[in-house]
Structure 1
Amino acid sequence: MTSDTSTDALAETARRAIACLDLTSLNDGDDDAAIETLCRRAVTPAGPVAAVCVWPRFVPLCRDRLEGSGVTVCTVVNFPHGRDNVEQVRDEILPAIADGADEIDVVLPYTALLTGRVAEARAVLDMARLMTGEATLKVILETGRLLTPSAIREAAALAVDAGADFLKTSTGKVAISATLEAAHVLLDVAAAAGRPVGVKVAGGVRTTEQAAAYLRLADAINGRAEPSNFRFGASGLLDALLATLDGRPATVSAGY
């Protein structure tokens, strides 16, 4: 794959990436005002983002503010540590779905998986799939903790077998978040799933050039990346994408 950094190519990347963006705010200090700002930002001059991703308590607010916008509402459970408590996952998902969440991002119990407790990790995913119902289920693998391609592949295959609709790289809360290498493994597993499975790249994608590299990779492995099969999970990326479209220099965010 060759890189095309021309102005027109970067503008096309920015438009595509905005459509595939899960605009995210998962900060400890988030409040209603911060989430209202997030919702306003989600409908951009270049079109709406794919989703907003927020703490469960903000799902009703997002549903209200984004009604009719085309932006879906995503929330996280078992986040960010990926504990292996099945009942906790159930008790987090049920109210989120009742409040109108369209998408659930659940953290795989990666520590359980790494220590050989595969059945315990799988039980959490099975519960998440059952409780999520018709909503979209994204499984966060925390690839920065799994580290090796073989461990990442094992986790991705487990998630697909449990019914995941998307494989997500990271929580954005550990030292190593998304990498092209990890994304390649997830895209390979998704391509071999025998049913539609998307990939969400989260954490550390902050520039239009970085987004372009992931889009090229996704296009090459799974066909053209679009919101139904590919997402970026990010907070600061949107500013960079809009700057690209406006022909302005981008300030790189230190955020998610």
Structure 2
Amino acid sequence: MDIRQYLDSTYLKTASQAGLTKAENREVVINFVQEAIDERFKLIMIRPDMVAMAKEMISNVHSKVTIGTVIDFPEGNGLLEDKLKEANQAIKDGADDLDFVIDYQAFISGQTDLVKKQVFEGTRLGLEHHKIVKWIIEVAALNEHQIVQLSALIKNVVLAHFKESHYESVFVKSSTGFYKTEGGLPNGATVAAIKLMVENSFPLPVKAAGGVRTYEEAVEMIQLGVKRIGTSSAKAIADGGTAKNEY
């Protein structure tokens, strides 16, 4: 199986997180974008401030690689107006996919109306501009019951307010890859979490992000029904190797 068209090649570290200068970190992003072009990956997933640069690189060589970025990342607890402002700027800069971090903390505390409004407004903005929208639920912060509930909440908002032809453009995504877990527990996609997401998000597609480290694990996720896989080691996985990075 050629899994390149499932892979969202991902680099989301800031310069300080990577221990680099801003110029050095920008060079890392440039290399990730070039690799995505060379390897014909589905998408390059980068921070919002790098989107315009990536758009220029990809357009200059007429590549089909698309550009994704993260919104309200990684905590997801910003105001709705700030989420939408950031998303609007990403759209202007050339982003194709908008990966919103849902306010999972608000969901856990029972503020479901707030979360539903986020999903509706963010999805509407993305679809109005013909973008792919993904909602990151941060499975490592949730128990199994909450994964089921939050996946179903997103699905129900989309099914209630948008056309069936739009369903394939709204994903439920597992993880940011930046959530801090205790005791060495995984902070990304797991088989158990993905099964729950696929079962309770359908007919919306699911993206497995973080924790997929080998070609075999990627194939397993695809067989579970995942439509996209986010990884910072896309080339290693596509080549049948093992990811060296954590995400």
Structure 1-normalised TM-score?
A: 0.80
Which residue of 186, 193, 197 maps to 2:197? 186
Unaligned runs of 5+ in 2: 16-21, 159-168, 182-186
1:42 aligns with one of 36, 43, 62: 36
Structure 1 residue 173: Cα displacement: 0.8
Pick the aligned partner of 2:233 from 233, 236, 255. 236
1:252 CA drift (Å): 3.5
- 5 Å matches for 1:107-256? 107-132=101-126, 133=128, 134-148=130-144, 150-163=145-158, 165-174=170-179, 175=181, 176-191=187-202, 193=203, 197-218=204-225, 230-242=227-239, 244=240, 250-256=241-247
| CA distance in 2 between partners of 1:142 and 1:212 (Å) | 22
CA distance in 1, matches of 2:229, 2:244: 15
For 1:214, the aligned partner's letter is M
Letter paired with 1:202: A
Distance in 2, Cα, partners of 1:88 & 1:96: 12
Residue identity matched to 2:219: A
Match of 1:77 among 51, 71, 74: 71
Aligned residue for 1:63? Answer: 55
Cα distance in structure 2, aligned partners of 1:231 and 1:109: 22
Q: Structure 1 residues 122, 173: CA separation in 2 closer, same or farther (over 3 Å shift)?
A: same
- Offset from partner CA, 1:7-27 (integer Å, 9 cap, x none): xxxxx2xx22x2110100000
Once superposed, which parts of structure 1, at least 4 consecutive aligned residues long, lie more than 4 Å away?
none
State the AA in 1 paired with 2:172: L
Q: Which residue of 1 aligns with 2:95?
A: 101
Alpha-carbon deviation of 1:190? 3.2
Q: Report the CA distance between 1:84 and its aligned residue.
A: 4.7
Whichever residue aligns with residue 173 of structure 1, its letter is F
CA contact 1:237–1:253 (8 Å) conserved in 2: no
* 53-62 or 157-166: bigger deviation: 157-166
- In 2: Cα distance, 1:252 partner to 1:201 partner: 15
User: 2:19 is matched with which residue?
Assistant: none
Please report how far the alpha carbon of residue 43 of structure 1 lies from its aligned counterpart in structure 2 after TM superposition: 2.6
CA deviations over 1:2-50 (Å, ceiling 9, x no partner): xxxxxxxxxx2xx22x211010000011632111101111034xx5111
User: Which residue of the partner structure matches residue 165 of structure 2?
Assistant: none
User: What is the number of residues matched between the two proteins?
Assistant: 219
Work out the CA distance in 1 between the residues paired with 2:105 and 2:78.
9
> Runs of 5+ in structure 1 lacking a partner?
1-11, 219-224, 245-249
TM-score between the two structures when normalised by the length of structure 2: 0.83
More helix by share: 2
